[in-house]
């Protein structure tokens, strides 16, 4: 699903992507909007349908509007063609966004709040921390064992209790 996103008096197309763990903005839009770029303290490898891209650039606490509501979020910079902004699962869960596929609408919970949505708390893969009196967006990254040692599903706590729901092999985790 796509939406029109406002950055001051400029617009761009935002893609809501439940399959993306992080939120992204294209380098071209960063330059056009004059956003300040910060160096990430780590290399982030992003798996796209065509390739794996490594980035160390991000824009902290970017303010924008969607559906008349103000939001603030950290965005990772990526060289994207055909896409301007991707709002991933970190942003969707932080802002309690619900997709109603039957009605083909998106709901922001709590509804009716017209102020900036800056939520402090824990979410599935993102956390907002207070550092020196300022809010900082942090990320919890999932990793996998790349060595040749294989681990069976019956060796993973919780998973072993529900083997009927998991396939024989989990080949990869979503980005």
Among 12, 14, 5, 16, residue whose Cα is nearest residue 29: 12
Evaluate whether 83 touches 15 at the Cβ level (below 8 Å): yes
Question: What is the residue extent of each domain of the chain?
Answer: 2-119
Ordered alpha helix ranges (H), 4-43: 27-33
The answer to whether 72 and 98 are in contact (CB under 8 A) is no
| 33: nearest Cα among 64, 66, 68, 2 | 64
Q: What is the pTM of this model?
A: 0.62
Are 58 and 129 in contact by the 8 Å Cβ rule? The answer is no
Residues in the chain: 175
pLDDT in tens, 71-93: 999 999 998 888 899 999 999 98
Closest listed residue to residue 58, CA positions, set 84, 80, 79, 36: 36
User: How far is residue 47's CA from residue 54's CA, in Å, rounded to a whole number?
Assistant: 9
The domain defined by 2-119 folds into: Cathepsin D, subunit A; domain 1 (2.40.70)
Mean pLDDT of the chain: 75
Tens-place pLDDT, residues 119-172? 333 333 344 444 444 555 444 444 444 444 566 667 777 777 777 776 666 565
């Amino acid at each position: 699903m796509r939406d029109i996103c406002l950055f001051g008096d400029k617009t761009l197309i935002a893609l809501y992507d439940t399959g993306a763990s992080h939120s992204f903005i294209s380098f071209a839009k960063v330059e056009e909007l004059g956003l300040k770029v910060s160096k990430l303290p780590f290399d982030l490898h992003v798996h796209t349908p065509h390739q794996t891209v490594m980035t160390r650039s991000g824009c902290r606490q970017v303010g924008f509007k969607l559906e008349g509501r103000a939001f603030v979020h950290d965005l990772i910079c990526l060289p994207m063609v055909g896409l301007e902004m991707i709002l991933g699962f970190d942003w969707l869960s932080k802002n309690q966004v619900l997709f109603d596929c039957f009605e083909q609408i998106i709901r922001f919970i709590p509804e009716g709040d017209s102020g900036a949505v800056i939520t402090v708390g824990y979410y599935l893969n993102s956390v907002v921390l207070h550092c020196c009196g300022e809010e900082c967006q942090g990320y919890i990254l999932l990793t996998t064992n790349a060595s040749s040692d294989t681990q069976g599903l019956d060796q993973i706590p919780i998973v072993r209790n529900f083997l009927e729901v998991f396939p024989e092999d989990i080949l990869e985790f979503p980005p």
